[in-house]
Structure 1
Amino acid sequence: MSVIWGVPYLLIKVAVEDLSPVVVVFGRCVIGAALLLPWTIARGHLRPALRHWRPLLAFTVLEMTGPWLLLGYAEQSLSSSLTGLLVAAVPFVAAIAGRLLGEERLTPVRLAGMGLGVVGIALLLGLDVGGAQWVPLLAVALVVVGYGTAPLIVTRKLADVPGVAASSIALLVTAVVYAPFALTRLDEVADAPASALLSVGVLGVVCTALALSLFFALIREVGPQRALVITFLNPAVAVLLGVLLLDEPFTLGLAIGLPLVIAGCALATRRNQPRTAAQPTVETPVP
């Protein structure tokens, strides 16, 4: 998941050079829905999934429709480094929300791992707060809240809904929301080079359809708190791809920050030790 959701930084960078961000988002949603919706219908999962339309709609707004729009707005004035560091707060929000709802407890070791991961992200990306405005920062804060709480809906309200079905419906709803803004810019597609169109295609197939299906499986396997630790590794993957494919410099921050991120993830995803009851003492009779 960290690799799959670390790649979009590179693909989006290529795509938005010739396409509007709203067209890119609309394109990846349409492609993802076109791949997953027929599978959902063929398996007979559409109607049962729609019975849970209220939590599905909440998940869609918190995970896709709201965050993608808010991030697009925020990154018009915030640096990508600062945005990436702020989004790395998602596991903390998930941990707090899970604790309030009685989910798995957050041990000191896991909390220390999250803190170590944030330090690593800061070293990887650098922290640029100069000239930051409060409204874009608030937009990213809302994104963090959405990303941190949406997986809890999956575990608590959508446990009986297959991940592919939930993803296909969420993508379709998001595509419909973005359609009025994207359809007026479709002339950009005709003039776009093959590299931009290929980037949108990979975004839709790999980073949206496949990624969301895997994300649901990951949430159900390890829980929402551990699943969201991928937020730490996503920027690390993006930075490595920038070094390998875009000739970006290999900095001291990368050399130090990446091991810290990996170590932080290892600690933050440790399984909690089960609490064992004290064994009664058995006295051996003296002959």
Structure 2
Amino acid sequence: MSASSFFRLVLLASIWGGSFLFTRIAANTFGPAFLIEFRVGFALISLFVVSLYLKKRLAFAPHKKHFFTLGLLNTALPFTLFAYAAQTLNASTLSILNSTAAIWGAIIAFFWHKSRLTRTGGVGLLIGIIGVGILVGIDGARIGAHSIPAIIAGIMAAFCYGLATNYTKTAPSIESFDNAHGSMWAATLWMIPLLFFMPMRGQPTPIEWTSVVLLGVVCTGYAYLLFFRLVTDEGAASALSVTFLIPMFGILWGYLFLDEPIGLNTIAGTGLILSGTMMVTGFNPRALFHAKQGT
């Protein structure tokens, strides 16, 4: 992997790790529905402006079923579940739960696409489950029984990402940028009905509004562009390795800006989850430096 691509990879991980920080800051005031509607709305505006600049016309109508499916599974539903969980859980826990998406993806692929799970993958799956147990078990005991629904919501959000990944394997062949742009239109529409049942809880502060704008423009719109550039330059496998770096930044930003504690269970749980995920997916960190333009 080239030096510039590696820089983009780390930058993308830091941005996506920051999304859990911003979600945590704004979730209790905006509520899950309004927070995510603003997030995908700002992301939509950003991608629409980019599409105008690049003169990319989105063919939404011919692929509306696909965009609505992708917008629900990959954006509206997991974003809302994480926003709900963020009302209780800290940013570091959210980012670590997010990293289990690859494990869920492998499990779903086993049943959906009959993909074989190797012995190493099976061991990795067990290790990952133990890691989640250590993380959420101790965190749940510390926070209280009311944290259980939030923990389940975070796990189900990661499950949605795994489901979306498997869906795209059988979905129409559409350019990555159009997938992002079209799914944001769909996600924005998906969120509208929820606004009537999950109202805002208070008057947002300037910091909370800033967090929401950053969530949409930077953590969603700009992050997609970075990700697509990595896919183009280095391939999907190398680009998806960002999954393993996100928890590091989620924990770091939570510690620096929200004074979130880093307990032994956080370190142990993170290590086990990431190790298990690498075993399940067959990811080798050395592959980062042996891409098609390896150094």
Per the normalisation by structure 1, the TM-score is 0.70
Which residue in the other structure is 2:259 paired with? 247
Distance in 2, matches of 1:72 and 1:244, equals: 21
Structure 1 residue 37 displacement after superposition:
2.2
Which residue in the other structure is 2:215 paired with? 203
Which residue in the other structure is 2:168 paired with? 154
- Tell me, yes or no, if structure 1 residue 46 matches structure 2 residue 58: yes
Contact 2:140/2:148, CA 8 A, preserved across alignment = no
1:174 corresponds to which of 175, 187, 193: 187
1:11 corresponds to which of 5, 12, 22: 22
Q: Deviations over 1:125-167 (max 9, x none)?
A: 53427646998787666544422121223233143x1222111
What letter corresponds to residue 17 of structure 2 in structure 1? G
How many residues get paired? 265
Distance in 2, matches of 1:255 and 1:92, equals: 19
Q: Is there any run of 5+ residues in structure 1 with no aligned partner, and where?
A: 273-287
Q: How big is the alpha-carbon RMSD for the aligned residues of Structure 1 and Structure 2?
A: 4.1
- Tell me, yes or no, if structure 1 residue 237 matches structure 2 residue 237: no
Which residue in the other structure is 2:124 paired with? 113
Contact 1:243/1:250, CA 8 A, preserved across alignment = yes
Distance in 2, matches of 1:246 and 1:144, equals: 23
Q: CA distance change for structure 1 residues 38 and 123 in 2, over 3 Å: closer, same or farther?
A: same
Structure 1 residue 234 displacement after superposition:
4.0
Q: Is there any run of 5+ residues in structure 2 with no aligned partner, and where?
A: 1-11, 285-295
What letter corresponds to residue 157 of structure 1 in structure 2? A
Contact 1:121/1:235, CA 8 A, preserved across alignment = no
Q: CA distance change for structure 1 residues 133 and 187 in 2, over 3 Å: closer, same or farther?
A: closer
What letter corresponds to residue 196 of structure 1 in structure 2? E
Q: Which has the larger radius of gyration?
A: 1
Segment of structure 1 superposing worse, 85-94 or 204-213: 85-94
Distance in 2, matches of 1:96 and 1:265, equals: 11
What letter corresponds to residue 14 of structure 2 in structure 1? V
The residue matched to 1:20 in structure 2 has which SS? helix
Q: How does 1:53-92 map to 2 (within 5 A)?
A: 53-73=64-84, 79=89, 89-92=100-103
What letter corresponds to residue 218 of structure 2 in structure 1? V
Q: Which has the higher helix share?
A: 2
Q: CA distance change for structure 1 residues 62 and 45 in 2, over 3 Å: closer, same or farther?
A: same
Per the normalisation by structure 2, the TM-score is 0.68
- Tell me, yes or no, if structure 1 residue 35 matches structure 2 residue 46: yes
Q: Deviations over 1:229-273 (max 9, x none)?
A: 82x65444322222223233332234444444444444344369x
Which residue in the other structure is 2:34 paired with? 23
Share of identical aligned residues, percent? 24
The residue matched to 2:187 in structure 1 has which SS? helix
The residue matched to 1:157 in structure 2 has which SS? coil
Distance in 2, matches of 1:4 and 1:54, equals: 30
Contact 2:109/2:115, CA 8 A, preserved across alignment = yes
Which residue in the other structure is 1:277 paired with? none
Segment of structure 1 superposing worse, 12-21 or 201-210: 12-21
